[in-house]
Amino acid sequence: MQKRKLGQGLEVSALSLGAMGYGKSREIEDRAEMIDLLRKAVDLGVDFFDTAEVYGPWTNEEMVGEAFRGLRDKVKIATKFGWNIDQTTGISGGDVNSKPAQIRQAIEGSLKRLGTDYVDLYYQHRVDPDVPMEDVAGVVRDLIAEGKVLHFGLSEAGATSIRRAHGVQPVAALQSEYSLWTREPEAEIIPTLEELGIGFVPFSPLGKGFLTGKIDASTQLADNDFRSKIPRFAPEAREANQALVDLIRTIGERHGATPAQVALAWILAQKPWIVPLFGTRKLERLTENLGALGVTLTATDLAEIEAANISVEGARYPDEMMRRVGI
């Protein structure tokens, strides 16, 4: 397995597997299958895994902890804090909370559920506008000194927040959306990360499935499928955005690669300190995505993508969610 270095010397597998989609309900009916998939990923060389206390809430971390029991020295676990969760009902109110007391409560819960003494990478899940970033970074700095956290991360933070946090406790990685159809980080975020020596862990590198080529304008999305609420997945937007999939499919044919592999290979080609974070519930998709590490796009391929200058239609989130992004 190829390795890459994020910030602060954190070395991980070149691709990371996210567990967010595992267990769609609090009961996690597919628990055994998803635990098996996580363990198979380790067998295939993946050592970097992503979860969060709010996934479930809590049940996802419990499942990840069970999956890696006896394998802790072979994996690096990232989890996240920063949301209000009712400690009695286990229901997330959907509002951010990065108060120092909340962070300390969150890490103790995460450690217990994950069955570990430390978290390799601890992300603030979303910036809390009511808590100074310096205070957040200060608490994580203390947790690092206590050995409960090894590295500090941010998620969907803007450049100013990144700089403020980094000035108190060096940030190892930023997790934000980035892909062939979500390229906004190139304007300010990626230059900031490069300047400060911070790694980048892009989520949704396959455009929530669209860049796999298995979704088109005629695909019927279920009412409980979150994508049905996303403007970019409206039928007319999907029809317009099909041009991007057609392009990467054409490039993939030259390399004997699938559209998904080309989409991942494109991200890997951008910077050596970028580690795409993908999610899948199927072993065949896991092996397909890992196959992207064997695809090397040429300078001609990369130039062709840029020259196409395909404009992506539709916002990546509904308006109410976008208000929490990039603070």
**CA 299 to each of CA 182, 243, 302: distance values in angstroms, whole numbers, following the listed order:** 21, 21, 5
Cβ–Cβ under 8 Å, residues 3 and 35: no
**Residues carrying an active site annotation:** 55
Cβ–Cβ under 8 Å, residues 58 and 89: no
Strands (E), the chain: 3-5, 11-13, 16-18, 48-50, 76-81, 83-85, 92-96, 119-124, 149-155, 171-175, 199-200, 277-278
Strand order in 149-155's β-sheet? 199-200, 171-175, 149-155, 119-124, 76-81, 48-50, 16-18, 277-278
CA distance linking residue 204 with residue 126, whole number of Å: 16
* Residues shown for the chain: 327
Closest CA to 151 of 275, 251, 252: 275
**CA 30 to each of CA 36, 42, 50: distance values in angstroms, whole numbers, following the listed order:** 10, 19, 18
CA distance linking residue 152 with residue 211, whole number of Å: 30
Q: Which amino acid is it at 104? A: R
Query: CB count, 10 Å around CB of 9?
Result: 10
Bridge-based pairing of strands 92-96 and 83-85 is antiparallel
